[in-house]
A and B are shown apart, each in its own frame.
Chain A
Amino acid sequence: MKSRRGLTAYAFLLPSLLGVFAFLLLPVAIVAGVSLFHWELLDSPHFTGLANYRRLVHDGDVRHSLWVTVLYVLLTIPVQTVLAVVLALLLNQRMRGVKFFRALYVVPWMATPIAMGLVWSWIFDPANGALNRFLAVFGVDGPAWLNDTSFALPAVAAVQIWQYTGYNMLFFLAGLQGIPAELYDAAATDGASPLRQFVHITLPLLNPTMFFVLVTNVIGSFQVFDTLYVMTGGGPAGSTEVLNFRIFQTAFQQFDFGYASAMAMLLFALILLITLLQVRYFNRRTTYDIS
């Protein structure tokens, strides 16, 4: 009986397993394979072993892109996570119009990255853009956001934060509503301040949500591409050239597929490593069952 059940389960899983295999595992394996070749598209590929990886180690441009990517992750993740928790706490109250606000904050998440990138580049336009016109009201002479090496990356990061905060808020909201009210009641009876309640009840019990949000968001930030492509094209002076952008450039503009694949493997390994670290961290600290 038990093994029959197992078979049925596998039968149902099969279609999605095929999908995962064909569109996820197989491409990764192909990229891993291609990374061992020197292959410029119009020429035939020839096996070069680890040569592409040796080239990676000495490539200053790749090192620069790695740094920009890490910087981008650091600019986006903490802010969009903290803001999402704060928003969720605010919208977890009983108040008028709360549903409207919950929906409102999720709207940016639904926008297509390309359209959004275009609209934001108008907002960031130094002369006619809404942002600098707003700053001018206070007598502030705003910078040329997307043409300034120190502002371009934060500007693109701000767009991502704007887009994902509301979406993340939804998860935290669900997480908050799953915390039994009795816990707070008991804590209040024992005289715990709201801050202590937050630190010792809310945050630990949000860990499953936090885990999910952080893992998916960190991966997303490491893979940023489309918004950035539209808003800066990697510029100015390479200040927004994240690794994914360099992979695109190497593969689809320079047609250097072997080397681009090696870069993709580097990004893949990096994401995998960071995800594993997160899994380890949260596994030790997460309680899924609070009944």
Chain B
Amino acid sequence: MRDSVRRRAGRKLLAAAATATLLAAATACGGGSSGAGGRTHLVYRTWDEQQKVGLEKVMKAFEAANPTIDVSVELLPYDQYWTKLTADVVAGTAPDVFWMQTTEFPDYVTKGVLADLTGDIKDTSVYNKTVVDAYTYQGKLYGVPKDMGDVALLYNKDLLAKAGVTMPDQLTWAPDGSGTFLPLLRKLTVDDRGRHPDDPGFDAKKVKTWGFASWNHYQTQWMNWMVSNGGQLIDKPFGKFAFNSPQDVAALQWGVDLSRKYHVSPPATETNPPTGQATEMFERGQVAIFPANNALLPYVKPAVKFPIGVAPMPAGPAGRAVNVNGLSEQVYAKSRHLAQAKTLARYLASPAAQKIMGDAGYVFPAIDSLSQGYVDYWKAQGIDVAPYVEERKGKTFNLPIVPGFSSAETDLNQTLNQVYLGALSPQKGADQAVKDANAKQK
């Protein structure tokens, strides 16, 4: 979810290791230990290889201020992460502090394995509200609001220049195809003879460049259309899935229409996960505009030969609404060094710690006022990421904060694949996906 590219690749490589992981879990030891001379050793677990380098700097700063506590950063690739964490929790050997994402949070917090940090992080107003909301359960804050990513349009500046268009400050869309977004995408979509989708003789089977990539990716695509069309994803936090209202269905229809009706996006046969190539098509210069989480930038930047621009997502009938995906650091409720782990949590929640990660361009810190460091880093890399910051001042939303999301994900993706292919109507697809997902809740 953080970065679809890496997650997908990782998943493929490590799926087979899952079984072995579970068996290994029985013997593994996650938690820290008390060493000689009253020193405490904490284990901090992450799944991000790139961030590990920055996190080690954070831990060094923490250890300097807390000489009796050592922290080691443990890396576990994303695809083993949840299986192993679950097994560790069962065995009572989970790490003292570990990463958590929004969609998994409900499953863990309702089982009582996460420590309540309400008393440790008193002023939550400095953090992005959507991130704080994501990790709040029954009025209490679990976890340190760590960082966040949101969705904006990445665009290929060369392709826009070639089509003779400039990216406007504000784009609009509506389910009926009105608004400024669709005409822009038509100008950017070109077939092998230079014709656009509204030209006579346009051949959708011989398109050289697509204006957009509309594909089955909930985090950066259809969930954003739904909320910006006035729809909803769930009835209430920790409630039920509910993305089959008329507004939701119309938004889904729009996502499908972009490829099947308006022909400004590649067909789902080329983009459906798990083998779809939407990100790669943008990287190869076959797609002009591509919505992505800023977490994808470190992977896209080295893969492209063109300058990348960033623009806010188009505003729908209910305005602009973008998904903010916040991460948190959890303290294990049964840590043998609960007090020290909470000391670490308080430090991780501080501007000093979050600034290290933001200024080095790893993430937008969850502390809103620290965004500039990240923006400056990426400006030096040639990408103006300010629109990501701008968007967060408007309406933002979390991924579905309900138990059972990860159980439901495979079926959800399969059902939505059929919708994007046109094999299932958006109404039927949404109804079925909602029904299946709710059935997975326990």
A residues neighboring B (CB under 8 Å): 27, 40-43, 113-114, 117-118, 121, 124-128, 144, 146-149, 225-226, 229-238, 248-249, 251-255
Contacts and interface: CB of A to CB of B under 8 A. Distances in A.
Interface residues of B: mostly helix, strand, loop or mixed?
helix
Interface string B70-98: 00000000000001001101100000000
A236 B12 contact: no
29 contacts: A41-B87, A42-B108, A114-B12, A121-B275, A125-B270, A126-B267, A126-B269, A127-B267, A127-B269, A144-B267, A147-B269, A147-B272, A148-B269, A225-B16, A226-B15, A229-B15, A231-B275, A232-B275, A233-B273, A233-B413, A235-B272, A235-B274, A235-B417, A238-B414, A248-B15, A248-B18, A249-B410, A252-B19, A252-B22
B86 A255 contact: yes
B13 A232 contact: no
Contact of B410 (A124, A125, A253): A253
Interface string B32-66: 00000000000000000000000000000000000
Contacts of A234: 410, 414
B122 interface: no
Given A127-B267, A144-B269, A236-B423, 13 more contacts: A42-B89, A125-B270, A126-B267, A126-B269, A144-B267, A229-B15, A230-B275, A233-B410, A234-B410, A236-B272, A252-B18, A253-B410, A254-B407
B436 to A, nearest CB: 10
A119 B18 CA distance: 22
B129 to A, nearest CB: 29
B260 to A, nearest CB: 13
Contact of B423 (A42, A233, A237, A248): A237
B440 interface: yes
A230 B12 contact: yes
A147 B417 contact: yes
A225 B18 CA distance: 12
B191 interface: no
Contact of A236 (B16, B87, B113, B418): B418
Contacts of A43: 111
Contacts of B272: 147, 235-236
A92 B415 CA distance: 50
A41 B12 CA distance: 23
B368 interface: no
Per CB-CB distance, the 6 closest pairs between chain A and chain B, nearest first, are A144-B269, A121-B275, A233-B274, A254-B407, A42-B111, A147-B269
B90 A42 contact: yes
Given A147-B421, A237-B418, A254-B440, A125 B275 contact: yes
A146 B274 CA distance: 10
Contacts of B406: 253
Contacts of A232: 274-275
Interface in B427-442: 440, 442
Interface in B258-290: 266-270, 272-275, 277
A121 to B, nearest CB: 4
B133 interface: no
Given A42-B111, A234-B410, A249-B410, A127 B13 contact: no
Contacts of B274: 230-233, 235
Nearest to B87: A41
Given A42-B86, A147-B421, A253 B13 contact: no
Contact of A253 (B87, B268, B275, B407): B407
A14 B415 CA distance: 51
Interface residues of B, number: 41
B113 A42 contact: yes
B384 interface: no
A22 to B, nearest CB: 11
Given A126-B269, A127-B270, A146-B275, A42 B107 contact: yes
B158 interface: no
Contacts, number: 100
B120 interface: no
B3 interface: no
Contacts of A149: 423
Interface in B1-18: 12-13, 15-16, 18
B407 to A, nearest CB: 4
A94 B268 CA distance: 51
Nearest to B440: A254
A109 to B, nearest CB: 17
B407 A114 contact: no
Nearest to A255: B86
A21 to B, nearest CB: 15
A235 B276 CA distance: 12
A77 B275 CA distance: 26
B350 to A, nearest CB: 31
B203 interface: no
Contacts of A40: 442
A237 B90 contact: no
A85 to B, nearest CB: 31
B15 to A, nearest CB: 5
Contacts of B13: 114
B414 A237 contact: yes
Contacts of A117: 12
B409 interface: yes
A247 B421 CA distance: 27
Contacts of B270: 125-128
A144 to B, nearest CB: 3
A43 B19 CA distance: 19
A114 B421 contact: no
Nearest to B83: A252
Contacts of B275: 121, 124-125, 146, 230-232
A124 B13 CA distance: 20
A268 to B, nearest CB: 15
* Interface-centre pick from B266, B275, B415 (highest chain A CB count, 10 A): B275
